[in-house]
């Protein structure tokens, strides 16, 4: 684990590491129980919300009450490049619109899934309409 005591974690609204980054930061073993313990340590240091992205395993929202798993949206993935960027951007869009974390993470998971369906980072970033269409199909 890394010593994070010198970082201004109290200024972090949402920390979004991927699974490998979270392992490096916290020494996370990969279990949900350890994810919750390590995540709550970050929350205790001032991080307001923690979302750990885990590729095809989805994403995990860690809150003081516990961990919520958001399964990955099933798609025919071609290239994972850009999925993390799409996730973070989509999450920021929803939070910027005043939406809650649950809605934002679900929206971000759909955007990340769409981003894996094309090669390259920039060409793979989905539009708002594409994300909304995927979510509508999933709701049916």
Which residue range is the domain that position 37 belongs to? 1-70
Question: Tell me: the pLDDT tens digits for 61-113?
Answer: 999 999 999 999 999 999 988 999 999 999 999 999 999 999 999 999 999 99
Confidence (pLDDT) at 71: 94
pTM recorded for the entire structure: 0.89
Q: How many domains does the chain have?
A: 2
Closest CA to 135 of 95, 107, 115, 113: 107
- pLDDT band of residue 37 (cuts 50, 70, 90) is very high
Q: What is the largest CA-CA distance in the chain?
A: 48
Give the mean pLDDT of the chain. 92
Measured CA to CA, the distance from residue 58 to residue 72 in angstroms comes to 4
pLDDT of residue 124: 81
Task: Mark whether 64 and 2 lie in a shared domain.
Answer: yes
Q: Do 85 and 56 fall into the same domain?
A: no
Q: Are 81 and 63 part of one and the same domain?
A: no
**Predicted pLDDT of residue 86:** 95
Residue whose C-alpha is closest to residue 53's, from 119, 101, 93, 108: 108
- Rounded Cα distance between 10 and 7, Å, is 9
Average pLDDT of span 15-34: 93
């Amino acid at each position: 684990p890394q010593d994070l005591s010198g970082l201004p974690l109290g200024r972090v609204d949402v920390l979004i590491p991927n699974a490998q980054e979270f392992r490096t930061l916290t020494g996370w073993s990969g279990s949900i129980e350890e994810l919750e313990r390590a995540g709550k340590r970050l929350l205790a240091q001032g991080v307001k919300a923690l979302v750990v992205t885990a590729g095809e395993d989805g994403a995990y929202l860690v809150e003081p009450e516990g961990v919520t798993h958001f399964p990955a949206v099933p798609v025919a993935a071609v290239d994972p490049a850009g999925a993390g960027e799409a996730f973070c951007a989509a999450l920021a869009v929803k939070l910027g619109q005043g939406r809650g974390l649950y809605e934002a993470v679900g929206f971000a998971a759909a955007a990340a899934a769409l981003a894996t369906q094309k090669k390259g980072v920039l060409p793979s970033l989905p539009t708002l309409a594409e994300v909304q269409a995927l979510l509508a199909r999933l709701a049916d």
